[in-house]
Amino acid sequence: MKLEQKDRIYILKTKNPPLSTYIASKDSQSFRLLHFDEEKGYERALRYAKNQQSPYQDEQKDPAIIEPVVFEEGKLFVSKNNTILQKFLALHPNNVLNGGNEFYEFDPEKEAEENVKNLNLEVDALIAARELDLNTMMAVARVHLNTNVDTATTKELKRDILLFAKSSPHEFLEALEDTDLGVNNIASRAISEGYVTVRGGKDIYYNLKDNKKKIITMPYGQSAAETLTSWLVSDAGKDFYGYLTNEFEK
């Protein structure tokens, strides 16, 4: 395999790494260190030997000088001159790149790019949040924040929406793009204001003066608001949806 010649830094995924951490450096019966070679079509044993040209054990010649691979305080710096260790780590099954969960190669350029992307997303979300009209703010707060919008002041709503946009920009922008946001808002409001009731934790009923009939049973794992939203946009629920819309526009 060919790698760009450059210094590389590898990071353990654990949050609080010890002072020194040894990772597997050779294949053994107690720990199989294998890499599937797509060209040859089978798994090959790996071994880090600093005096060899290949990380594959079947391509190495004796005597092989085996050395431990040690992360100090969760990090391992590998010089561009140590190509054999870089190749070994690139093939290691515990590398995140290969589906592992022990360590990954730190790429400052890629991380900076990801940081810029996340910061731009946060800025977009905050701008969108600042420009929301009151009705949309109330809908987002009611559906996604479970805020009691009837008692919250406008300033409290604006604060909660801005904090939502800042902490979860992707989720916030998705909420604004949700074509069912208005229906979700109507459903949540119908529940909170008592136009419907939930009985036994599973059945939704009308709670009108002249109608206390059962509407629908909530599917397993679905909330009352989700179930009512789906029902309101169906043929069976469209009349009640129209009724609720008129009620809430008064």
The string of pLDDT tens digits covering residues 162-210 is 999 999 999 999 999 988 888 988 998 899 889 999 999 899 999 999 9
Q: Tell me, yes or no, whether 222 lies in a domain.
A: yes
Domain of 203, CATH number, reads 3.30.250
Q: How are beta strands 196-199 and 42-45 bridged, if at all? A: unpaired
Q: Tell me, yes or no, whether 1 lies in a domain.
A: no
In 101-237, which ranges are continuous DSSP H helix?
108-130, 134-144, 154-167, 169-177, 181-192, 224-232
Q: Tell me, yes or no, whether 151 lies in a domain.
A: yes
Residues 168, 129 share a domain? yes
pLDDT of 149 reads 83
Q: Which two tokens stand for residue 42?
A: 């089978």
Residues 196, 130 share a domain? no
Residues 53, 98 share a domain? yes
Q: Which of 106, 136, 162 is the last residue of a domain?
A: 106
Distance from C-alpha of 77 to C-alpha of 70, rounded to nearest angstrom = 10
Q: Tell me, yes or no, whether 232 lies in a domain.
A: yes
pLDDT of 59 reads 94
**Domain total of the chain:** 3
- SS3 at position 46: strand
- SS3 at position 214: strand
The string of pLDDT tens digits covering residues 99-143 is 999 999 998 888 899 999 999 999 999 999 999 988 889 889 988
Residues 93, 123 share a domain? no
Q: Cis peptide before 63, with omega less than 30 degrees from 0? A: yes
Q: Tell me, yes or no, whether 65 lies in a domain.
A: yes
Residues 63, 25 share a domain? yes
Q: Tell me, yes or no, whether 237 lies in a domain.
A: yes
Residues 100, 14 share a domain? yes
Q: CB of 79 within 8 A of CB of 72? A: no
Q: Which of 178, 205, 225 is the last residue of a domain?
A: 178
Residues 186, 112 share a domain? no
Distance from C-alpha of 64 to C-alpha of 162, rounded to nearest angstrom = 60
Distance from C-alpha of 201 to C-alpha of 99, rounded to nearest angstrom = 41
Distance from C-alpha of 10 to C-alpha of 94, rounded to nearest angstrom = 12
Q: Which domain holds residue 75?
A: 8-106
Q: Is the pLDDT of residue 34 over 90?
A: yes
Residues 174, 138 share a domain? yes
Residues 91, 13 share a domain? yes
Residues 138, 71 share a domain? no
In percent, the amount of the chain with pLDDT more than 90 equals 74
Residues 91, 136 share a domain? no
Q: Is the pLDDT of residue 147 over 80?
A: no
Q: Tell me, yes or no, whether 124 lies in a domain.
A: yes
Residues sharing a CB contact under 8 Å with residue 12, sequence separation 6 or more, in sequence order: 21, 71, 74, 75, 102, 103
Residues 236, 147 share a domain? no
Task: Please tell me the least confidently modeled range out of 40-54, 65-79, 135-149, 194-208.
Answer: 135-149
Secondary structure of the chain: what % helix, strand, coil (to 5)?
Answer: 40, 20, 40
Q: Is the pLDDT of residue 29 over 90?
A: no
Q: Which of 178, 193, 211 is the last residue of a domain?
A: 178
Distance from C-alpha of 42 to C-alpha of 33, rounded to nearest angstrom = 13
Q: Tell me, yes or no, whether 216 lies in a domain.
A: yes
Q: Is the pLDDT of residue 250 over 80?
A: no
